[in-house]
Structure 1
Amino acid sequence: MRRPVLPALLVPVFLLGACIVEAPGGASPNERRQSVVTQVPTLSTRGGANFEDKVELVGANLQPGRLSPGDSARVTAYFKVLKSLDEDYTIFVHVEDAEGRMERINVDHKPAGGLYPTTQWKVGETVKDEFTIALPPGASAQSINVWMGFWEPKTDGRLQLKNPEAVRNDGRSRILLMQIPVTR
């Protein structure tokens, strides 16, 4: 007796942007070149956050510089590698209404699109990480806060902020990367 052929699994289009892709066996030399910069461009947001003397946030850019409900913006963050990392950290990103009226949006992701895990980062490199923030169409926020940090999923631990007095943070190793104005 023949078994029926099952149709291929279809993934809804809206889920495709949420997938975390990892390069099997690590980053290729080309992927590493795309993830590392030799010169950081002019930044719209300065960094200075030091995570356990292993990674320093150099700063970030936002394109475009504002958001409207239903639109999205691209954030590019730059991290200076100070010391080798023994764990593959996820960059957690929490997008919250500055006035507290909107539900949090999580934009957690593997660094460099999953192509360059933190255990492969080399001391002295500046790693470029890009992600997109999408504001829901009905959002009523006047501005949104973008919080970020490094999270290790296996232990549910975070890289600890070494210099909390130097950057805006919430006391739980989550730094305020930027505040984005929302236009109507």
Structure 2
Amino acid sequence: MRRTLLALFVSASLLSACIVEAPGGASPNERRQATVTQVPALSLRSGANFEDKVELVGATVQPGRLSPGEGARVTAYFKVLKPLEEDYLIFVHVEDAEGRAERLNVDHKPAGGLYPTTQWKPGETVKDEFNIALPPGSSARALNIWMGFWEQKTDARLQLKNPDAVRNDGRSRVLLAQVPVAQP
């Protein structure tokens, strides 16, 4: 039952995060939707540098505290430093901070699938939004949200260049946020 509920929430999260990529790449309108000219005030700052190609500027998580059965909207901002030769997925691992529950994977194409990484231009800031959900009855006291870039065909990750400057797990997964969970 617990695995079924977990799978249901993962599926719901993925449905809201994964949109089929626009054929032929991003139109000028889609590019405008996927990028920002100014990053809003962020509750979470990062500075994670992935191979001198992309910097994770930071993110917001709304709401900033969850209860079992609730979801949150995560918005991350990426500064493009150099062109990317591969279309990377953004991998997201949502884990019980105490390691007592299975990981939720919310891997997805950036910017709702509208703007693949091979089309990102240096100097742009790309906005990426996705949802996470906490299963009902969860006993987690906090959730860790880990993220990075993953190329599906080769199973390769963009490597973190500044591991001493950001919280990470040594495998190019950056700790984006720890979200507290209210207990009933």
Q: Same fold (TM over 0.5)?
A: yes
Please list, as runs of the form range in 1=range in 2, the aligned pairs for 1:1-184 lying within 5 A after superposition.
Answer: 16-17=15-16, 19-184=18-183
| CA distance, structure 2, for counterparts of residue 158 and residue 116 of structure 1 | 19
Which residue type is aligned with residue 144 of structure 1? L
| CA distance, structure 1, for counterparts of residue 13 and residue 38 of structure 2 | 34
Q: Give identity over the alignment, percent.
A: 81
| CA distance, structure 1, for counterparts of residue 126 and residue 174 of structure 2 | 18
Which residue type is aligned with residue 47 of structure 1? S
The equivalent residue for 1:4 is none
- The 3-state SS of whatever aligns with 1:49 is strand
Q: Judging changes above 3 Å, is the alpha-carbon distance between structure 1 residues 64 and 13 closer, same or farther for their aligned structure 2 residues?
A: closer
Measured on the aligned residues, the alpha-carbon RMSD in Å equals 1.6
Q: Judging changes above 3 Å, is the alpha-carbon distance between structure 1 residues 57 and 98 closer, same or farther for their aligned structure 2 residues?
A: same
| CA distance, structure 2, for counterparts of residue 99 and residue 177 of structure 1 | 16
Quick one: higher RCO (CA 8 Å, sep 6+), 1 or 2? 2
| CA distance, structure 2, for counterparts of residue 14 and residue 177 of structure 1 | 17
The TM-score with structure 2 as length reference comes to 0.90
1:21: how far off?
Answer: 1.2
Q: Cα deviations across residues 21-79 of structure 1 (Å, max 9, x unaligned)?
A: 11110111111101100010010100110000000000000111111110000000000
The TM-score with structure 1 as length reference comes to 0.90
- The 3-state SS of whatever aligns with 2:94 is strand
Which residue type is aligned with residue 154 of structure 1? K
Aligned residues: 173
| CA distance, structure 1, for counterparts of residue 109 and residue 175 of structure 2 | 19
Which residue type is aligned with residue 119 of structure 1? T
User: Contact between 2:16 and 2:131, CA under 8 Å: does it hold in 1?
Assistant: no
Which residue type is aligned with residue 122 of structure 1? K
1:129: how far off?
Answer: 0.2
- The 3-state SS of whatever aligns with 1:30 is helix
| CA distance, structure 2, for counterparts of residue 88 and residue 102 of structure 1 | 31
1:17: how far off?
Answer: 3.5
Q: Cα deviations across residues 134-156 of structure 1 (Å, max 9, x unaligned)?
A: 11112110001000000000100
Q: Judging changes above 3 Å, is the alpha-carbon distance between structure 1 residues 13 and 69 closer, same or farther for their aligned structure 2 residues?
A: closer
- The 3-state SS of whatever aligns with 1:112 is helix
Q: Judging changes above 3 Å, is the alpha-carbon distance between structure 1 residues 145 and 59 closer, same or farther for their aligned structure 2 residues?
A: same
Richer in helix (by share): 2
Mark the structure with the bigger radius of gyration.
1
